[in-house]
Amino acid sequence: MNSTNFFNPNGDDILNETLYGANPTGFVDFNRPKYKWSTNIYDLMNANTWFPSEVNTSAEKKAFEQLSDNEKEIYKLTFAQLSFNDSAQEEYLADFRRLATNKIVKSTLTLQMMQEVNHSKSYAVLLDAAGNSNEVFDLYKTNEALKRKNQRIADQFAKYIEGDSADGMLLSAMASVNLEGIYFLLGFSYIYVLGDKVPGARDMIKFISRDELNTHLPLFANIFKTLQKENKISASIIDKSYEMIQEAVDIELEYGKYLIDNYSIMGLREELITNTVHNYANDRLTKIGLDPIFPKTNTTYLQKLVDKHLSMNDVKQNFFETNVTNYAKNSIDFDDF
């Protein structure tokens, strides 16, 4: 490896370090960010660092054993899938980070990698407390629907990550928008539907969902928009972005339909799940500066459940009106990055 990867005195001025294709000096200077959103998100990620030990899982085994058979299967298959999402994302981020040439964005991606590992650890802690860790983590070996969803997500991740181009990087960012903004959400919803029946799982998902939706999704939404702004992204690449989110919707609805068809629990119906996923997909498209393409419906019950639990301690604050010590461990509104 060339030493300029570490120290490059002839590199670009720090304020000229673009997201892709720059010649960075090697220095990380948080006092001179090219993108204000990168330091905002980094600071929020850092301030909201949490650990699985903060969640009380002492009663999880008893709580799990009191669930109905269908609820137990929803619980296990949900955590089996969520644990894959975080494991895959941590590996993907390591590859995606190599494509970025802005040092602060790279630093923010590094912090996200730590958080994804923390999520994986949280699943291990929770499922160990519930007494079904090995069973859940091995479900992909025996459940074809779970295996198919995981494989389709992995295929979408792998398709563009090797591309050394702004186009390839943008489509790789789109894969992460799908992961953070589509593939997690029904899983979060299922645990919130169980709610007080599994307080350990519910509270662990509160922390994880806050990370995914308050920082990880905004990070990749801004990466997508910045790449589009700084590079000549062709219409065909934008068309592929639409194709990717359509595929993500299909993947999520296929698995969601499998769960409710086979393990029906109160309030979960196909129409509700379809409307929820379509609404989320439209919102993600809007966040990355593209037009919504899915049927629009009113905010669903499942969306309201997710929004409710994003508000830690029932407090919501605007990031731009509070300092770090005030917003730590609370849900933040990101109205505009």
Lowest mean pLDDT among 15-24, 47-56, 81-90, 214-223: 15-24
pLDDT for the residue numbered 332: 41
pLDDT digits (tens, 9 = 90+) for 91-140: 999 999 999 999 999 999 999 999 999 999 999 999 999 999 999 999 99
Which one is catalytic: 35, 75, 92, 123?
123
The average pLDDT across 311-336 equals 41
The average pLDDT across 45-73 equals 95
The β-bridge partners of 317 are 332
| Cβ contacts of 31 within 8 Å, gap of 6 or more | none
Q: Which residue has the tokens 């602060």?
A: 104
pLDDT for the residue numbered 317: 38
| pLDDT-above-90 percentage for the chain | 79
CB 219 within 8 Å of CB 41: yes
pLDDT band at 313 (very low <50, low <70, confident <90, very high): low
Domains and CATH numbers, the chain: 26-333 (1.10.620.20)
> Which runs of E-coded beta strand occur in the chain?
316-318, 331-333
Task: Reply yes or no on whether the pLDDT at 146 is more than 60.
Answer: yes
pLDDT for the residue numbered 163: 67
Q: Which two tokens stand for residue 336?
A: 């505009």
| Cβ contacts of 98 within 8 Å, gap of 6 or more | none
The average pLDDT across 170-183 equals 96
* DSSP state string for 239-307: HHHHHHHHHHHHHHHHHHHHHHHHS--TT--HHHHHHHHHHHHHHHHHHTT----SPP-PPPHHHHHHH
Tell me which amino acid residue 112 is: Q
Three-class DSSP category at 316 = strand
pLDDT for the residue numbered 4: 77
pLDDT band at 25 (very low <50, low <70, confident <90, very high): confident
Q: Which two tokens stand for residue 121?
A: 């650890």
| Cβ contacts of 69 within 8 Å, gap of 6 or more | none
Q: Which two tokens stand for residue 326?
A: 């005030």
CB 43 within 8 Å of CB 332: no
CB 328 within 8 Å of CB 48: yes
| Cβ contacts of 321 within 8 Å, gap of 6 or more | none
Q: Which two tokens stand for residue 81?
A: 């899938």
Asked if 183 is an active-site residue, the reply is no
pLDDT band at 321 (very low <50, low <70, confident <90, very high): very low
The β-bridge partners of 331 are 316
pLDDT for the residue numbered 15: 86
pLDDT digits (tens, 9 = 90+) for 216-227: 999 999 999 999
pLDDT for the residue numbered 52: 95
What mean pLDDT value characterizes the chain?
Answer: 90
